[in-house]
Structures are given as C-alpha cells and as structure tokens.
Structure 1
Amino acid sequence: MMVIVSYDVNTETAGGRRRLRHVAKICSNYGQRIQNSVFECFVDSTKLEQLKEELLAEYDEERDSLYFFRIGKKYENKVDSYGNKSIIDVDKPVVL
C-alpha cells in the first residue's frame, strides 16, 4: 500500500536538528522523498508498523509531529503529480 509520511520536527536546538536528520534517514529507508518533510512509502502492514515504531521512538511528542496517510493499493487513481520533481515509479522496472 502507499503511505504518505509527513513530519514537522522542531529544529531550534541541536537535539532537534539531530532528530530531523534521523527522522529523514528512517523515512528514506522505507520510501522516497517527495517534499522536504514528506515521503512516499510503499509498504505492507508489517513494514508500516516497523516504520511507525522507528519514527515514534525518534520524535519528541511535545515538540514534533508525525502524520501517516494511508492511500492504499489503488493509489494510481488517488494521486496526481505535477512539476519537475522526478519520482521513481516503484511498480516499473528500474534500469541501472
């Protein structure tokens, strides 16, 4: 299923900047960045729970926020994308 992960990490302190880097790193392990703090992840329910667990362990619940938008398996009809950002279609073969 497609899940959109969005986060807002308070970076006023060194710890916040560290959390921001760690949250982005965790998200990049599960999907691709589509905006600065937004990732598109293709995961099954088990991977989604792992992702949530890792992110919830990293963020500060009093300063930061996390959102998980479950788009589902039929995401092609639910997402329109425009602009110059190149997004990899994970359902198509990748040639290296």
Structure 2
Amino acid sequence: MELLITYDIDTTTPEGERRLRRVATTCEGHGHRVQKSVFEIICTPAQRLTLEDTLTTLINPQTDSIRIYQLDRGTFTNTTHLGNATTPPHHGALIL
C-alpha cells in the first residue's frame, strides 16, 4: 500500500523538538522524505499498523497532529512534480 504521511509537531518546548526528531526518524525508517514534514511510504498492512502504533506513542495528542493518507497503488509513480523536487526510488532498496 502507498501512504502519504504529514505531521505537525508543536516545537515550542524542548520536549516538542525531541518528539519532532523522533517522528521524523521513524518516518525516515519507513519511506522517503519528499518535503520537510511529508513522507511517501510503501508498506504492507502489517507494517502500517506497526508504524501507526509507533507514531501514536511518540506524539502528544493534545498538541501534535499526524495525517496518514492511504493512496491508490501507483499514485507515487504518476505524481507530477513542480519546482525543485526529485522522484524518490520507491521500488528500490531503502538504505538507512
């Protein structure tokens, strides 16, 4: 499945800055960063559940927001990029 993950983490405190780094690191471990707070991820349903569980434990639900959009298969391949953008190698190896 293809997922688009966006997040908005409250970074007005040192704890918020740590949460932001942890959320970003978690997403980097599963997909490709395409903008500062936007990731494109290809995963299985089981991997999605694990990712959602991990992200839920990292955020403060009172101040932070994560949106996960499940997209039709092939959406990333058919994406149009405008401006300074690169096409992530979704079907290649993900090297951390």
- Identical aligned residues as a percent: 29
Aligned partner letter, 1:3: L
Please tell me the root mean square deviation across aligned C-alpha atoms, in Å. 1.8
Q: Distance in 2 between matches of 1:28 and 1:70?
A: 17
Change (3 A) 1:92 1:14: closer
Instruction: Report the alpha carbon displacement of residue 80 of structure 1 after superposing the two structures with TM.
Output: 2.2
Q: Which residue of 2 aligns with 1:10?
A: 10
The answer for unaligned runs of 5 or more in structure 2 is none
TM-score using structure 1 length: 0.87
**1:68 matched residue in structure 2:** 68
Partner of 1:25: 25
Alpha-carbon shift at residue 92 of structure 1 (Å): 5.7
Shift, 1:90, TM fit: 2.0
**Structure 2 residue aligned with 1:85:** 85
Number of residue pairs matched? 93
Map 1:16-55; keep pairs closer than 5 Å.
Answer: 16-55=16-55
1:57 corresponds in structure 2 to 57
Q: Name the one with the larger helix percent.
A: 1
Any gaps of 5 or more consecutive residues in structure 1? none
